[in-house]
DNA sequence: GGTAAAAATTGACCTATGGTAAGAAACTAG
DNA sequence: CTAGTTTCTTACCATAGGTCAATTTTTACC
């Protein structure tokens, strides 16, 4: 929990009241590798803040293939925001890639907290702004880079993640098959 | 300006004070088709709210090809958020696709307004939440759909935009060449 | 430590989409 | 209306990346 408080305070103030409230709505949990936190089709009630480990969110397409939307490591949030903000059941699955410690929040509680504590709303707004920027960049990368270039960028941006993920996780994040990613890696070693 | 006030009030309250402030920092402008509001490489100072017309933001890749990040019509915001939130010069170009009426804001003024008026910060947070959801969906579509399927979805989601844009604008948004889009359209007519 | 399961690689082939270039069509401005 | 420019289409060939199936490597577990 200190990680989250610290993260908030690193960019702005947070009243003691708000801090206490945040504690009161939080639940510390540990998930084992392979556990599913949110399952496609079910109602999404929770949002997770990762304090240790690695998780990912992904969906299945009509042929049953997986497509990774996001990886989350230390100090990242993860959930199915599509479901939460459209008030639908989950289109995404959130899976634990290695044993992870997370802080679980009920989306409703966080929502209420935003309205109660302007400091927290500011924090959330800033998080979202940065998130929009990174999603914009990802879209532009997808539009203009080759699979090989996207992989280079991925390795550069998430050096820590690669050790927890399988190749096909990364492939499905980059938008290529695992076979293609395998060939791309072979080429890199050669040159 | 009424469009913006109305948009804000449609989802929440806005104090008279905030409304007055918003007016005081706004400038109504009209841009002709083809005009450039933000140019790649220059400092980005402004954010635009579209009240009429159609604009788009795009970048050039290393081969000089254009890639469209966003279209903006009535009641949408547009700028180079990557530049604004990283405090760098523009990587995007914002172009007017048909004569458009916009409300221009200095990013700094809006930033200050967020800190002055909690109502406005709440509004912004909600806008960003919805934006994150739509960017997430776009990424998942890019990962799992064929060019043809993405085009169908585009036409469905932005029926109004097609009349203002050239084919290559749409192609560069979907991540295909204009030639491919042309072929895709021929196929649709056949079947 | 040995075996079963999962993941990664490899090879042969295939397909969607890209590149190029030329002609047709649609605007634009005098 | 006409010439010039921009955009769109079409045809042909090229290629990145996909598919499928085997094989090897790694990992997990009794």
**Euclidean distance between the first and the last CA atom of chain A, given in angstroms as a whole number:** 45
- The string of pLDDT tens digits covering residues B144-153 is 999 999 999 9
Residues in chain A within 8 Å Cβ distance of B59: 140, 144
Residues in chain A within 8 Å Cβ distance of B172: 143
Q: What mean pLDDT comes out for the span A69-80?
A: 96
**The pLDDT of residue A110:** 97
- Which residue of chain B comes nearest to A122, CA vs CA? B121
Q: Does A112 touch chain B (CB under 8 A)?
A: no
Q: What mean pLDDT comes out for the span A18-25?
A: 96
Q: How many Cα atoms are found within 13 Å in the side-chain-facing hemisphere of B180?
A: 15
- Which residue of chain B comes nearest to A175, CA vs CA? B143
**B164 to each of A158, B71, B96, B170, how far by Cα in Å?**
39, 10, 10, 10
- The string of pLDDT tens digits covering residues B40-97 is 999 999 999 999 999 999 999 999 999 999 999 999 999 999 999 998 999 999 999 9
**The pLDDT of residue A165:** 95
The distance (Å) linking the CA of A107 with the C1' of C9 is 43
For chain B, what is the mean pLDDT? 95
**The pLDDT of residue A189:** 83
Cα(A7)–Cα(A49) distance, rounded to whole angstroms? 11
Share of chain A above pLDDT 70, in %: 99
Residues in chain B within 8 Å Cβ distance of A67: 140, 143-144
- The string of pLDDT tens digits covering residues A97-142 is 999 999 999 999 999 999 999 999 999 999 999 999 999 999 999 9
Q: Residue B19: which residues within 8 A CB-CB, separation 6 or more?
A: B5
**The pLDDT of residue A58:** 97
Q: Note whether A172 contacts B143, CB cutoff 8 Å.
A: yes
Distance from CA of A50 to the nearest CA of B (A): 19
Pairing verdict, β A66-73 and A93-106: unpaired
Q: Which of residues 99-138 of A touch strand D (CB under 7 A)?
A: none
Q: Tell me if A161 sits within 8 A of A73, measured CB to CB.
A: yes
Q: Does A188 touch chain B (CB under 8 A)?
A: no
Structure tokens at A122: 């500011």
**The pLDDT of residue A191:** 65
Q: Does A148 touch chain B (CB under 8 A)?
A: no
Q: Residue B123: which residues within 8 A CB-CB, separation 6 or more?
A: B8, B11, B12, B14
Residue B6 confidence (pLDDT) above 70: yes
- Kindly report the number of other CB atoms within 10 A of residue B136's CB atom: 22
**The pLDDT of residue A105:** 98
DSSP 8-state class, residue A44: P
Q: Tell me the whole-structure pTM to 2 decimals.
A: 0.96
- The string of pLDDT tens digits covering residues A153-172 is 999 999 989 889 999 999 99
Tell me the pLDDT band of B5, cut-offs 50, 70 and 90: very high
**The pLDDT of residue A190:** 74
Residue B191 confidence (pLDDT) above 90: no
- Which residue of chain A comes nearest to B92, CA vs CA? A140
Q: Note whether A129 contacts B86, CB cutoff 8 Å.
A: no
Nearest to A127 by CA among A68, A79, A86: A79
* Ordered structural domains, chain A, with CATH: 2-116 (2.60.120.10)
Distance from CA of A118 to the nearest CA of B (A): 7
Structure tokens at B87: 């405090």
Question: Which nucleotide's C1' atom has the smallest distance to the CA of A63?
Answer: D19
DSSP string, A49-102: EEEEEEEEEEEE-TTS-EEEEEEEETT-EES-HHHHHHT-B-SSEEEEEEEEEE
DSSP 8-state class, residue B44: P
Structure tokens at B64: 């000089």
Q: Note whether A144 contacts B65, CB cutoff 8 Å.
A: yes
Nucleotides in D strand less than 7 A from protein CB: 7-11, 16-21, 28
């Amino acid at each position: 929990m200190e990680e989250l408080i610290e993260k908030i305070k690193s960019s702005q103030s947070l009243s003691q009241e708000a801090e206490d409230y945040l504690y009161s709505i939080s639940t510390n949990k540990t998930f084992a590798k392979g556990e599913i936190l949110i399952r496609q089709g079910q109602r999404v009630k929770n949002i997770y803040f990762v304090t240790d480990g690695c998780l990912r969110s992904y969906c299945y397409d009509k042929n049953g293939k997986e497509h990774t939307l996001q990886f989350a490591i230390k100090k990242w949030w993860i959930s199915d925001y599509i479901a939460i903000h459209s008030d639908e059941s989950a289109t995404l699955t959130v899976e634990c890639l290695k044993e992870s410690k997370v802080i679980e929040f009920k989306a409703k509680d966080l929502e209420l907290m935003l309205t109660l504590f302007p400091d927290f709303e500011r924090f959330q707004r800033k998080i979202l702004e940065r998130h929009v920027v990174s999603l914009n960049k990802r879209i532009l990368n997808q539009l203009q880079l080759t699979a090989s270039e996207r992989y280079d960028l991925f390795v550069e941006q998430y050096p820590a993640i690669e050790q927890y993920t399988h190749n096909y996780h990364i492939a499905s994040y980059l938008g290529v098959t695992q076979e293609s990613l395998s060939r791309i890696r072979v080429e890199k070693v050669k040159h």
